[in-house]
């Protein structure tokens, strides 16, 4: 059984449906690639998936270690490359809420981010630039 069913709606737009839940995501081609840019582009979703995956894996590690990272956010910047057109770099800044994070806890969380399955699935030439801002 498929995990996702995607339909081309025309005009460079797709609708992806998560089969199990029925949740839907619309994508548009970006303005710089002949699209309207009215929704996430597929490469935006790739970048968002990396950030969400890293937060999730950090959340698993945090739960196991008794560290509260609820409210942590990340800001993601996607940088495109050419020849061939592709995502060349994804910059992610993680902003942790105020807390008394030990050096050990910071290391655990940073290492966890680097083990996320999305990261491990991306081409090694794609640069992942990560910044971890811990508020103490």
CA distance 63 to 116: 16
pLDDT reading at 135 higher than 90: no
Say if residue 17 is in the same domain as residue 52: no
Instruction: Provide the pLDDT for residue 129.
Output: 98
85-114 mean pLDDT? 96
pLDDT tens track for 5-29:
999 999 999 999 999 999 999 999 9
pLDDT tens track for 54-79:
999 999 999 999 999 999 999 999 99
* Residue-wise DSSP of 14-66: EEEEETTT--EEEEE--GGGTS---SB-HHHHHHHHHHHHHHHHHHHHHHHHT
Say if residue 8 is in the same domain as residue 72: no
Domain count, the chain: 2
Per-residue confidence at 99, pLDDT binned at 50, 70, 90? Answer: confident
Say if residue 52 is in the same domain as residue 118: yes
Helix (H), strand (E) at residue 109: helix 103-113
Say if residue 10 is in the same domain as residue 73: no
pLDDT reading at 103 higher than 80: yes
Say if residue 12 is in the same domain as residue 62: no
Say if residue 99 is in the same domain as residue 48: yes
pLDDT tens track for 33-60:
899 999 999 999 999 999 999 999 999 9
pLDDT reading at 86 higher than 80: yes
Indicate which CATH number applies to the domain containing 105: 3.30.300.20
Please give the model's pTM, rounded to 2 decimal places. 0.94
Instruction: Provide the pLDDT for residue 28.
Output: 96
Say if residue 19 is in the same domain as residue 67: no
Say if residue 90 is in the same domain as residue 119: yes
CA distance 98 to 91: 22
Say if residue 20 is in the same domain as residue 46: no
92-119 mean pLDDT? 96
Instruction: Provide the pLDDT for residue 126.
Output: 97
Say if residue 47 is in the same domain as residue 95: yes
Say if residue 58 is in the same domain as residue 99: yes
109-123 mean pLDDT? 97
Residue 23 domain boundaries: 4-33
Say if residue 81 is in the same domain as residue 15: no
Neighbours of 106 (CB within 10 A): 15
């Amino acid at each position: 059984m498929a995990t996702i069913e995607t339909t081309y709606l025309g005009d460079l737009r797709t609708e992806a449906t998560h089969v199990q839940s029925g949740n839907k995501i619309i994508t548009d081609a970006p303005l710089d690639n002949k699209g309207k840019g009215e929704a996430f582009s597929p490469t935006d979703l790739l970048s968002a998936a990396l950030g969400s995956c890293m937060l999730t894996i950090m959340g698993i590690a945090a739960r196991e270690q008794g560290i509260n990272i609820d409210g942590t956010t990340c800001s993601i910047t996607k940088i495109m490359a050419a020849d061939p057109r592709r995502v060349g770099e994804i910059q992610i800044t993680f902003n942790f809420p105020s807390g008394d994070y030990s050096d050990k806890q910071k290391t655990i969380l940073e290492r966890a981010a680097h083990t996320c399955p999305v990261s491990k699935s991306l081409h090694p030439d794609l640069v992942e630039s990560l910044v971890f801002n811990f508020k103490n």
